[in-house]
Amino acid sequence: MKGQNLPIIKEVIVVEGKDDVAAVKRACQAQTIITRGLGISREIIDSIRKAQSRCGVIVLTDPDGPGEKIRTRIQQAVPECKHAYIYRDRKAARQPVGVEYAAPEAILAALDAAKATVQSPSQAAFSMMDMIEWRLAGGTQAQVRRDRLGKWLGMGQTNAKQFLKRLNGYGITPEELLEGLRRLDMPDRMDGQKGNDIES
């Protein structure tokens, strides 16, 4: 199944590692946050909280002890998250279990059971050409500008490609973005986060 034909999930999907991200990408188009195992940091929890406020979050961890501990920690910190479950076959004890081994159909079934929001394909609001014009890609200060703008918008620190995906996936409005870009040239107005004056 080609990527452009996969269902588009509105919510950000939280998984444990990069192999889990690859499995999710085989099943659907979605933004993801990686917890990096049991060492889930305060920064990652903060990213999950911001994603939940923007477009919702679905937690999809492995059906084992560590996966449940991660799920519980996220549930305690961000109780509004949805939860999706991959089920293990207890009769196949030697078969590897986890999100990374799950078939696309199993992942989609889990997301469906978690009441994931499937979106219709739509024209992206922002493009890479926009990123270059706004000096968020391709220039010597692009990373610094993305970091500062990402913090203000609650999108975290990412490379240019991921930043663009989050701009289009997190429901950032042109008005919000233009206000953030204006503040980039006013350092004293960029301190703190959107919502305080005014973060995978």
pTM over 0.85: no
**Short-list 1, 5, 2, 7, CA closest to 108:** 7
Let me know if residue 200 belongs to a domain: no
Q: How far apart are CA 111 and CA 130, in angstroms?
A: 32
Q: What domain count does the chain have?
A: 2
Range of the domain at 136: 128-189
Could you tell me the pLDDT band of residue 92, with boundaries at 50, 70 and 90? low
pLDDT tens readout for residues 63-87: 999 999 999 999 999 999 999 999 8
Could you tell me the pLDDT band of residue 192, with boundaries at 50, 70 and 90? low
> What burial letters (b/e) apply to 124-137, b meaning 16+ CB within 10 Å?
eebeeebbeebbbb
CATH number at residue 13: 3.40.1360.10
Written as six digits, the tokens of 156 are 């975290």
71 and 166 together in one domain: no
15 and 91 together in one domain: yes
Distinct helix (H) and strand (E) counts, the chain = 8, 6
18 and 105 together in one domain: yes
65 and 107 together in one domain: yes
